[in-house]
Structure formats: C-alpha cells, structure tokens
Amino acid sequence: SFIVVSLLVIHFFSDLFRISIGGNYVGDMTLSQLVESQSKDYAWLLKLLVNCFGYSCVFVPGYLIYKYVQRSNYLERGNKTFLHTAVNMCITGNSSYEPVDVTQAEKERVPIKRTSSQEAVQLFWCFGGLMVSYLTWGVLQEKIMTQHYYNFSGESAKFKDSQFLVFANRLLAFIVALSYMQWQPAPGRHRAPLYKYSFASFSNIMSAWFQYEALKFVNFPTQVLAKSCKIIPVMLMGKIMSKAKYESYEYLTALLISLGMIFFMSGSAENSKASGVTTLTGIFLLSMYMVFDSFTANWQGSLFKSYGMSSLQMMCGVNLFSSIFTGASLSMQGGFMDSLAFATEHPKFVFDMVVLSICSAVGQLFIYHTIDVFGPVVFTIIMTLRQAAAIMLSCFIYQHSISVLGIFGVLIVFVAIFLRVYCNQRLRAKRKRAEANKPKIAV
C-alpha cells in the first residue's frame, strides 16, 4: 500500500510540475518538451530536477520495500516463493535466507599470478579494446546528435533525446551480459546485494548527463581538459572511499599526464576555433561530471574487492538498474514514445543506434574487466589517452594541425606512462626481493 501511495504522489507532483512550467499553455506537450522550450540559462537545472524526479520513481518504492523488509522480518519467514527469493537477492545477495558470515579470506579475492609479459599482453588487450570500441562509439554518438536523418517521405529531422541513447545502450549491454552469463556461468556464487549496483548506476547516469549538458556552456577543448585531468579526483576519491594508498610516483605521473594533456589540447587547432565562453555554470557541470565519474570507478572497484563478482556480473547489475532508471525517467517525461516514433520513421537512425549500442556494450565489458584487473587509476589513464586519440583521429581525418606545444604535450604523457610502468615494476621487484630475504622461522 505504501508503494502504491508513493507512486500516486509521484504522479501527482509530476503533473503539478508540468503545469507549473507550462502554465495555461501546456496543451499536448510532454514534460520533456516543456523543459526544452525554456531558456537555456536555467533549462539545465529544470532537466536535472526532472531527471532526478524520474529516478525517484524507482528509489522511493525501493527504499520503502527495503524498510518494510527490515521491520517485518520478511526474509526470516519460511515462504520460499519467487517473490521471497527476488527480495532476498536484492537485499542480502546470497542464495540462503540466513545472513552469510563472510570471512576475511572470502572477501579477499585470490589474485591471478601473471608474468610481466602476460600482464603486458593483458594491458594491451584492455587498452586496444577500450580504444577501438569507444572511438567508434564517439564518432557514432556525434553523428547521431548532429546529423539530420531522413524519413520515408524525404523529410529531415534531428534526434535530440540523449537519455534515450543511454537507455538503449544500457538495455543492450544488460541483455548481452545476461545472455553471456547464461551461456557461460561465472564460477562461484554471486553474493553482492543487487541494490548495491544502483549506486554505481545512478552515478554513471548522472556523469553522462552532466557531460552532455556541459557542452552547452563550455567549448569542446575545455571539456576534454577536464576529462584528461580527472585522474587526480579519481585518486582522491579512492583515498576517501577505499582508504587507498598511492606511491609518490603515482601522484607524480598523474600530475605529468594531466599537464601533458593540457599542453596537447592547448596546442591543438580546435582551441583556436572554439569560442572563449566558459561560464561558471559550465565549470560547475564539469565538476559534477568528474565527481560522479570518479565515484563510479571507485565504487565498482570497492564492489570487486568486497564481493569478488566477475566483470559480467558487474556489467549486468549496473546496466539493469541503469535501464530501469532511464526507462522510468523517459516514461515520466513523455520522451520515451517520442524517441520510438522517431526510430520507426528513420531506419538509418536505427542502424546507427544499434551499432552505437553494440560498441557501448563491448566497451563496458572492457571497462569492467580493466577495473577488475588493474584498478580504477589505470582505467582512467587509458580513457584519458582515448581523449587524446580522439583529437588525433580528428586531425588525421580532417587535416587539422598540431602545434609544437601539442606535440610536446603528447611526449609528456607517454613519458609519464613509461615512468609509471617502470616504477611499478621496480617496486614489485623490490617487494619480491624483500619477501624472499625474510628470515624463515624454524618450527
């Protein structure tokens, strides 16, 4: 009953919000269309409120269910029904109905021992997979959001709802991960409560939204600069969330990578063409993007360490909630049916969207695998280099030139990466020697 009441309240406030924005001229306009018709200066804030309100359609009932289960001791009852099992998986995450006492040995995943050459091959595989999938994804994303699509009558139109693209990408990724797990089940039992994936899903959705909105207030090089420098907030977030400890060389190489990327972007021809308008709103949006993106990587890393799930399980859980969040928000705003209508009228858009979603799904496989094997810092370094590769690809295709300062920035980045790998290998070798030289206690 509490859930039904909460949904009715959400529906009531949705209509109230729609009327307050549109006044007496609402007509047949959806909430999404009403927000788009507002002034650019504060439309982003309205979009943020509307999106969060849509996500509350999932959070509020979920929170009420969680509280009800805790207070009523629902899981301690003996009914082994489908609903009972589903609630148990969402809240406790283990197959039995009694809480599982996870020992420290179970929490710590046994790392796979690899030689230096095997680790180099693994790193190259992750690097290449992320580069190819997300460079293709970026090209198609720009094409979908900027190109006119023609329907069967020859009329052209642009697709504007980026949240629908996020929904399509996450839904296909969820289906791919779930299908693969059914074909090749992961070893061991999945212990993580499903609700813990919702935090990573929410932060991932929010970071993507802030990234799109920031482009309306800052130029493209400014946004890329922010992305390239996010290695520092990722390390800071790691210290705050996971109490992670980093070596001095990791801080130094992070600073060098960010500095090199600044030189590269400042020396690219794109900067001279971009407008110099950089508002406080844009800086705020970029800051929020980096905060949410850093939280996502570190939260996923924490889940890997705590529950030892596989990359596919992480992908499946995160995309499940991402699909639910974006689907609920699109349904509430009225943009869901509009996007489907656009897709049925423009077949070329459907092809681009499917390829885009496939690239996103494959890219997410590499994301989770990279974070699982190498951690969030290495993943962020690879994605930072992907930003530079995107600019270099643009320079190659469209014959843009890079100044001496830009070339110098590229050299700094690769020197910093080489220094990081070298110091990491030296530190590992030093620790192995220290372990081998420990005096053995005779029993």
Chain segment 102-116, per-residue pLDDT in tens: 444 444 445 566 777
Residues 294 and 325 reside in one and the same domain: yes
Residues 63 and 124 reside in one and the same domain: no
| Domain presence at residue 438 | no
Domain interval for residue 254: 114-433
Instruction: Write down which residue in 98, 131, 160 finishes a domain.
Output: 98
Residues 55 and 145 reside in one and the same domain: no
Tell me which amino acid residue 97 is. Y
Residues 25 and 134 reside in one and the same domain: no
pLDDT at 236: 77
Residue 294 to residue 258: CA distance in whole angstroms = 15
| 419-425 contacts at long range (C-beta below 8 A, 24 or more positions apart) | 419/249, 419/252, 419/253, 419/256, 420/249, 420/250, 420/253, 420/381, 423/247, 423/249, 423/253, 424/249, 425/116
| Domain presence at residue 120 | yes
Residues 120 and 195 reside in one and the same domain: yes
Work out whether the CA dihedral 268, 272, 275, 281 comes out positive or negative.
positive
Distance of CA 69 to the CA centre of its chain: 30
**Residues 6 or more apart in contact with residue 186 via CB below 8 angstroms:** 309, 310, 312, 313
Residues 287 and 141 reside in one and the same domain: yes
pLDDT at 45: 83
pLDDT at 99: 40
Q: Give the total number of structural domains in the chain.
A: 2
| Domain presence at residue 20 | yes
Instruction: Write down which residue in 37, 64, 98 finishes a domain.
Output: 98
| Domain presence at residue 104 | no
User: Are the C-beta atoms of residues 305 and 244 closer than 8 Å to each other?
Assistant: no
| Domain presence at residue 118 | yes
Residue 186 to residue 174: CA distance in whole angstroms = 16
First to last CA, the chain: 66
Instruction: Write down which residue in 98, 133, 161 finishes a domain.
Output: 98
Residue that has been written with the tokens 């420990």 in this structure:
438
Does the pTM of the predicted model rise above 0.85? no
Structural element, H or E, at residue 88: helix 82-91
27: left (phi over 0), alpha (psi -120 to 50) or beta: left
DSSP state of 120: H
Residues 329 and 427 reside in one and the same domain: yes
pLDDT at 203: 92
pLDDT at 225: 59
Mean pLDDT by 10 residues, the chain (443 residues): 58 66 59 66 79 84 83 73 76 54 45 72 90 85 78 83 83 88 72 86 87 70 63 74 77 82 64 51 83 84 80 85 88 79 89 90 83 76 76 63 75 77 76 73 49
Residues 27 and 125 reside in one and the same domain: no
pLDDT at 274: 46
| Domain presence at residue 71 | yes
Residues 136 and 5 reside in one and the same domain: no
Tokens of 100: 């599982």
pLDDT at 286: 82
| Domain presence at residue 323 | yes
| Domain presence at residue 352 | yes
pLDDT at 117: 80
pLDDT at 112: 62
Residues 237 and 189 reside in one and the same domain: yes
Residues 92 and 123 reside in one and the same domain: no
Residues 83 and 218 reside in one and the same domain: no
pLDDT at 129: 92
